[in-house]
Structure 1
Amino acid sequence: MARRAPRKAYGEFSEDGSEFIVREPKLPAPWVNFLTNEEYCAVISHTGGGYSFYRDPKTDRILYWVGRDLWRDRPGRYVFVRDMESGEFFSITWQPLMKKLDRFETRVGLGYQVITSEFMGIEGSITYFVARSDPCEIWRVTLRNRSGRRRRLRVFSYLEWMLGDNVEMNFHNIAILYNRAWFDRRANAIFARKTLLFGQAVYEQLPVYDNPLIAFIGSSERVTGWDCHKHVFLGLYNDENNPESVARGSCNQSICEGNEAIGVLQHDIMLPPGGEHTIYFVVGEVEGEDRARRLIGRYTKPEAAEAELEEVKRIWRDRTERVKIDTPERDFNIFFNRWAKYQLYICNYWSRSPSYYHEGQGGRGYRDSCQDAQSILPIDPEHARKKLLKITSLIRRDGTCAPGWSDTYGPFPQKPYKDHPTWLTPAVAAYVKETGDVGFLSQKVPWLKDGWRDGGSWRDPNWHKGAIEDGVGTVFEHLLAQLNFTFNDVGEHGLPRIGEADWNDALDMVGRKGRGESVWLGMALVRSMRIGAELADLIGEEERAAELRKNADVMAKRINRVGWDGEWYLRGFTDDGEPFGSSRNEEGKIYLNPQSWSILSGVVTEERLPKVLRSVDRLLEGKNGLALLAPAYSKTDARIGRITAFARGAKENAAGVCHANPFTI
């Protein structure tokens, strides 16, 4: 029987493990849930902070949020409740007023979140969730009178619109000039839009065209007041923690034309002793007002909203039922059997970009998506298959690839990363092993053609077609092109060139001149070529298999000849031919990845393996796991890159990186 863990300082799992319960609003940092249907996503913290987006968190952000708001955890999705007799008011989510509440609780669920609080005899509860297939979120707000006397309440929703590309953060004063927000009586809702897609039309100097997207907040109750203009509602020099209109007791019926836009709907509720009342708010974004009205009409009906919530819960239960473990540790069982799978889905849906820490930079990265697809295979092979086909379509005929893609503007236009050609082969092999679908290797997929030329070394200034298809090839042909490219793209030591970064994006100056080399990338290539040879065997490509194995052996010998430092493996060579990750360096003497990948790839020799393991234990082990390198860089080194400029122990500069530690484990 699994042991029950003691009660935690900030929260604990519910009895059945389907929820994590937080009872303290002041956590060390915001804890965030992702409510999503893969088209629309609501990023929400334990106190209602966060934002929503449609298709891409960079280009189609609906609600306002920027990276500097991480520790403020504002703005967000709030509901203010005011007692119209006493004038006292509170926010159900604690934020943004941060008043002392009589009770506070957040229940983080799979696909939903419930925040409940109580203040002066009124209990408020908000259940947030995203519809299964429509681009909208629903807030179910329930008020209960615990005071024993009749209460006359006024309720105010609150959100702040961004309505487009988050490049607005750099041009805020101009971007808000395109904002329009107004109350639509027919829909009983506020509509909001930017009159053009600011980032694309202005920042990227593309043609100006009318923006078809309409954002909205509607309600199931008759609206008795509204505000669309932020500063009219909050008051001059105020922010969300001191809303003047709530303190005064009424909205102003403001519209917004070319200023900071919000969505405030005002409702009047009378609650008898012991009474309760529920309001349904719907927030979303679609093309055209007619579709917006249809979604508002659908999800403000209580029976439809409740049925949708139950279906959302059922879908996530079904997704996380596959593959279970049973250990003596209850919390570990719960985490693995439910929450780790939930996390895998969220990462597969949106990669890393929507998080509070990545600030919603948009799209999905190539490297991350290869590993995400591989990770979700045991619980959703069909999702993995679709993702692998999408990733394959980002490969050019020369074997380089776009560094990622967005659902709004397609393949990333940035320069290719040198390590990306090594990640897809292991992911495809894992899919074939998991499913037995050998035919997947023969499936035809388009090649990508864009402006990058000569292995991604320069961009054709005369190319104006964007990203287009360049004929088709099989999945295996795409993999082979990648492996051959990296094997032949080598420097003076015969190791793969690092370019402007390999797995470690912050090693961005090592190969800026085109000569720097990566020992780690050589190891990753060896591993992928050996896996690729196994795939070639499966489809009868015996000559290809033999060639891949021969090339893998060649690269492994090169690494052992020039990449060994005496007690561990080097990280690589700079443009000047100097080793880094070497005992000869004062800082950054040893890097973790070349040591772990020497084992993963089979490059390390039998006599060197004990030295590698001892070096890792002796030089990289710390109280928070294994450091990415040691010792940390204390001064900027322009030959290495921005990694040397980060604070010591932060990010790639000797932090205990979650990604690199499992490689070693």
Structure 2
Amino acid sequence: MEYGFFDEKNREYVIERVDVPVSWTNYLGVEDTCAVINQTAGGYMFHKSPEYHRMTRFRGNAVPMDRPGFDLYLRDTQTKDYWSATWQPVGKPLEQVDYSCRHGLSYSRYFSRYADIETEMRLTIPLGEDVLLWDFTVENAGSQMRELQIFSFCEFSFHGVASDNQNFQMSMYCAGAGYQDGVIEQKMFYEPGKEQYFTASFRPDGYDTLRDSFLGLYHTEQNPEAVLKGQCTGSAEAGNNHCGSFQKNLKLEAGESIRLIFMLGSGNRKKGLRIREKYSNLNRVDQSYRELRDYWDDKLSSLQIQTPDKGMNVLTNTWTLYQAEINVMFSRFASFIEVGGRTGLGYRDTAQDAMCVPHSNPEKCRQRILQLLRALTTRGYGLHLFEPEWFDPDVKPEYADSPTVVPTAEKDRVHKLEQACSDDALWLVPSIVEYVKETGEMEFLKEKVTYADGGEDTVYEHMKRILDFSHEQVGKTGICKGLRADWNDCLNLGGGESALVTFLHYWAISNFLELAEYLQDKAEGWEIDGDIKKYRDMGKQVKKASEQLWDKEWYIRGITKNGKSIGTMEDEQGKVHLESNAWAVLSGAAEPGRGAAAMDSVEKWLYTPYGLQLNAPAYTKRDDDIGFVTRVCPGLKENASVFSHPNPWAWAAECVLGRGDKAVKFYDALCPYYQNDKIEIREAEPYSYCQFIMGKDHECYGRARHPFMTGSGGWAYFAVTHYILGIRPEMDSLLIDPCIPGEWKEFAVKRRWRNAEYQIRVENPDGVMKGIRSVLLDGKEVSEIPQMKEGTVHQIIVRMGGKTDD
């Protein structure tokens, strides 16, 4: 069953049936202000922090779902009939009203047609301004003059999520809202500078700033009393629950249309007056759309592909990069799942996000890397969850002056060792290396950065601390300790050992050595022979230690603190685990024979038509020696679901083995594009990767949950571009080393690297999966593709050849 389709030309997903099984979301804003919205304009808005500076309220997991939002109501003054510009909140029967939604890149458009009235509402946050524009056009498509009333509604939040939801002594009595000069302003009486405003391009015929006055007692957003009566009350009050509502009375002749702009922003009334003047000019509104389109066009043009795989093309060219960018912009806690109840940066998540998009967003990736470096302790582990403002003296935290918000993590900024996650900082090493390869900014490695617990050192020295910490934190067998958790937060190894971290350590060492060896050979001012020898020896030790993780046909997942191996041939539950086997191969630690056998076991035990399960068979018996994963419902989350994040690790691992057919088989299984016609099963949106899909052990096998805010987006993009298509920046050259299905005869990629454009065509006349026979750069055969002059365009023809890797 299909609810919509991909409009490739306009880079939009079109939702034709708006009664989708769960909310299908979009993220507006690319700077400090963000709105998270769904297909009926339900959602919430925040400035900088979804926890400490929430602008509008949102009742997560409520019934009805996803309210309140950004609502516009229409009322016919003659018939007294009313409806909303989006299907919800009024909820007219869909056989009576034609509703649709188009989610685009940082904007969403909503369309309706009812009783010969057609509307379009566009929500977007312009570049350079902290305001959400509600661009509303209403047209009389009938043959008679119509008298209509338009009502807006959004519910203001009391700044901090915790106090707003739990401490009504504060939220009900410390903020007030009022109307003056066409602007509604809500302000915190104890906290100047935390105001927000609501205004419009017209003089309203009525207003309300009190929620209960607009909705009425014992009413909801579905049937507001002001709309039923056809008149706002002019309410305003210090204290209480506040909202932004304007009423506008219209007369529309047959065929006439009117365009109104509503504006919801962060700032005081003075700022609201400036914004109202600016965006009452419709040319400026339209200009903001062009600027936002150009912004995304520039990002997307950094890499565009054309392959025989349609789903790969559509997602990689637009939606997967978009998802990865949103993650690096807003981290994980702004969604309909997390609902902004936490804030800050997760160390491992942010490090991986920053690794995946330096080609399209180098400035943000650099900023994130620096924030992570500042949150590294001198011992070499990162703070699992932290506020970047703790370590940046130039930035004042959003919660600094609030008497109602005391961040719990602030009480103990530097975690104790037992609170550390063993994998967190290891992800940062390849992220830094990837940034340097992409930008060529070698001087970044000498930049001085502080540590979380005092002192400072260069970026390069921070990397060494990370590697040394994992080298020190090993068990009796030489396998890296799991500490509080490795990547899998539900596998609580405690004093046990982690195969994943061991392989990740080896990968980080390999990345560091590639960088160090380049610096020694080709960069000035680097005398690091001792480092190269030290970390080569360390890598050999790690690789040797990892050999004991082999168990006949695959790699075990780890060892508990009581010495029990996890993921063995003898285990009845949790027999095979995806992470350890994929990373054994992807890291380069596994010998080819063992690597192939391990991935064969992954396919045998973990493959489903919806992707690879995290483990199998599911745990059905509680075992606290293994961890909380054994308490999770079978087939959900970490217990034998198709957990999306590690799936791209398996695609990349198959490419390391030269098995492009399996890499793309696994890719297509997880690819949400190919589930567009299975929404009755998938339920979640088909344009974003979800955190997990329910596995074979669950009665709702195939259902997807937790969209957008997952590392799956970044890793899917990274694995496709760097491994399947094989286009990877090196220190001073561009490597093209695809691993594709033998039936792919050719594919094309446009790649921008260091401000030169490379137009690449890969030919595969012999039907091989891996291997390069020749490379032509602007008609001349070359052994490698060097960095070319900025602003130039170059043609590259790569011919694959050799034996297939059977």
Same fold (TM > 0.5): yes
Over residues 219-263 of structure 1, what are the superposed CA-to-partner deviations in whole Å (9 max), with x where a residue is unaligned?
111122222222222222222112222112111222244333221
The residue correspondences of 1:397-546 to structure 2 (distance < 5 A) are: 397-406=378-387, 413=413, 415-449=419-453, 470-508=454-492, 510-511=493-494, 515-540=495-520, 541-546=528-533
* Structure 1 stretch displaced more, 363-372 or 78-87: 363-372
1:534–1:332 distance in 2 versus 1, CA, 3 Å: closer
C-alpha displacement of 1:81: 0.6
Pick from 186, 190, 193: which aligns with 2:184? 190
Partner of 1:558: 545
Partner of 1:661: 647
Letter in 1 for 2:178: F
The residue correspondences of 1:5-154 to structure 2 (distance < 5 A) are: 9-14=2-7, 16-69=9-62, 72-100=65-93, 101-154=96-149
Tell me the SS of whatever aligns to 2:571. Answer: coil
Gaps of 5+ in 2: 393-408, 521-527, 652-806
Pick from 371, 393, 409: which aligns with 2:352? 371
Letter in 1 for 2:56: L
Contact kept, 8 Å, 2:307 with 2:313, in 1: the verdict is yes
1:256–1:407 distance in 2 versus 1, CA, 3 Å: farther
Over residues 251-276 of structure 1, what are the superposed CA-to-partner deviations in whole Å (9 max), with x where a residue is unaligned?
12222443332211111111111111
Letter in 2 for 1:583: M
C-alpha displacement of 1:363: 2.3
CA distance in 2: counterparts of 1:184 and 1:623, whole angstroms: 56
Compute the TM-score of the two structures, normalised by the length of structure 1. 0.88
Contact kept, 8 Å, 1:179 with 1:260, in 2: the verdict is no
C-alpha displacement of 1:190: 1.4
Letter in 2 for 1:319: K
Letter in 1 for 2:266: E
1:72–1:17 distance in 2 versus 1, CA, 3 Å: same
Whether 1:339 aligns to 2:319 is yes
Partner of 1:463: none
Pick from 619, 633, 641: which aligns with 1:647? 633
Tell me the SS of whatever aligns to 1:476. Answer: helix
Contact kept, 8 Å, 1:33 with 1:44, in 2: the verdict is yes
Over residues 391-438 of structure 1, what are the superposed CA-to-partner deviations in whole Å (9 max), with x where a residue is unaligned?
222212211222244466669646432211211111111122223332
CA distance in 1: counterparts of 2:649 and 2:23, whole angstroms: 28
CA distance in 2: counterparts of 1:354 and 1:403, whole angstroms: 18
C-alpha displacement of 1:14: 2.7
Pick from 264, 267, 273: which aligns with 1:293? 273
Partner of 1:205: none
The residue correspondences of 1:377-392 to structure 2 (distance < 5 A) are: 377-392=358-373
Contact kept, 8 Å, 1:219 with 1:281, in 2: the verdict is yes
C-alpha displacement of 1:607: 4.3
Letter in 2 for 1:489: Q
CA distance in 2: counterparts of 1:355 and 1:535, whole angstroms: 36
C-alpha displacement of 1:503: 0.6
Letter in 2 for 1:398: R
CA distance in 2: counterparts of 1:594 and 1:471, whole angstroms: 35
C-alpha displacement of 1:390: 2.6
Tell me the SS of whatever aligns to 2:172. Answer: helix
4+ residue segments displaced more than 6 Å? none
1:370–1:104 distance in 2 versus 1, CA, 3 Å: same
Contact kept, 8 Å, 2:46 with 2:53, in 1: the verdict is yes
Partner of 2:229: 248
Over residues 454-473 of structure 1, what are the superposed CA-to-partner deviations in whole Å (9 max), with x where a residue is unaligned?
xxxxxxxxxxxxxxxx3321
Whether 1:260 aligns to 2:255 is no
Over residues 169-194 of structure 1, what are the superposed CA-to-partner deviations in whole Å (9 max), with x where a residue is unaligned?
651534432453423222x1211134
RMSD, matched Cα: 2.2
CA distance in 2: counterparts of 1:15 and 1:351, whole angstroms: 27
Letter in 2 for 1:95: Q
C-alpha displacement of 1:519: 1.4
Letter in 1 for 2:101: T
Whether 1:220 aligns to 2:220 is no
1:43–1:437 distance in 2 versus 1, CA, 3 Å: same
Contact kept, 8 Å, 2:60 with 2:66, in 1: the verdict is no
Letter in 2 for 1:348: V
Tell me the SS of whatever aligns to 1:212. Answer: coil
Tell me the SS of whatever aligns to 1:264. Answer: strand
Tell me the SS of whatever aligns to 2:255. Answer: coil
C-alpha displacement of 1:91: 0.5
1:330–1:616 distance in 2 versus 1, CA, 3 Å: closer
Contact kept, 8 Å, 1:163 with 1:215, in 2: the verdict is no
Tell me the SS of whatever aligns to 2:316. Answer: helix
CA distance in 2: counterparts of 1:266 and 1:317, whole angstroms: 37
1:396–1:321 distance in 2 versus 1, CA, 3 Å: same
* Structure 1 stretch displaced more, 108-117 or 414-423: 414-423
Tell me the SS of whatever aligns to 1:423. Answer: helix
Contact kept, 8 Å, 1:66 with 1:169, in 2: the verdict is no
Contact kept, 8 Å, 1:70 with 1:357, in 2: the verdict is no
Aligned pairs, number: 618
Whether 1:274 aligns to 2:255 is yes
CA distance in 2: counterparts of 1:135 and 1:410, whole angstroms: 25
Over residues 583-614 of structure 1, what are the superposed CA-to-partner deviations in whole Å (9 max), with x where a residue is unaligned?
34332222110000111122223443343123
C-alpha displacement of 1:379: 2.6
Whether 1:616 aligns to 2:597 is no
The residue correspondences of 1:165-204 to structure 2 (distance < 5 A) are: 165-168=160-163, 170-171=165-166, 173-178=168-173, 180-186=175-181, 188-195=182-189
Tell me the SS of whatever aligns to 1:270. Answer: strand
CA distance in 2: counterparts of 1:311 and 1:74, whole angstroms: 30
Partner of 2:558: 572
CA distance in 2: counterparts of 1:436 and 1:307, whole angstroms: 34
Tell me the SS of whatever aligns to 1:81. Answer: strand
C-alpha displacement of 1:309: 2.3
Percent identity, please.
31
Letter in 2 for 1:285: S
C-alpha displacement of 1:660: 0.7
* Structure 1 stretch displaced more, 116-125 or 584-593: 584-593
Contact kept, 8 Å, 2:179 with 2:236, in 1: the verdict is no
CA distance in 2: counterparts of 1:585 and 1:15, whole angstroms: 47
Partner of 2:735: none
Over residues 61-90 of structure 1, what are the superposed CA-to-partner deviations in whole Å (9 max), with x where a residue is unaligned?
111114314971221101001111110011
Contact kept, 8 Å, 1:30 with 1:71, in 2: the verdict is no
Contact kept, 8 Å, 2:617 with 2:640, in 1: the verdict is yes
C-alpha displacement of 1:550: 0.9
Contact kept, 8 Å, 2:366 with 2:435, in 1: the verdict is yes
C-alpha displacement of 1:581: 2.3
Whether 1:312 aligns to 2:292 is yes
Letter in 1 for 2:424: H
CA distance in 2: counterparts of 1:253 and 1:272, whole angstroms: 29
C-alpha displacement of 1:277: 0.8
CA distance in 2: counterparts of 1:217 and 1:22, whole angstroms: 29
Contact kept, 8 Å, 2:197 with 2:269, in 1: the verdict is no
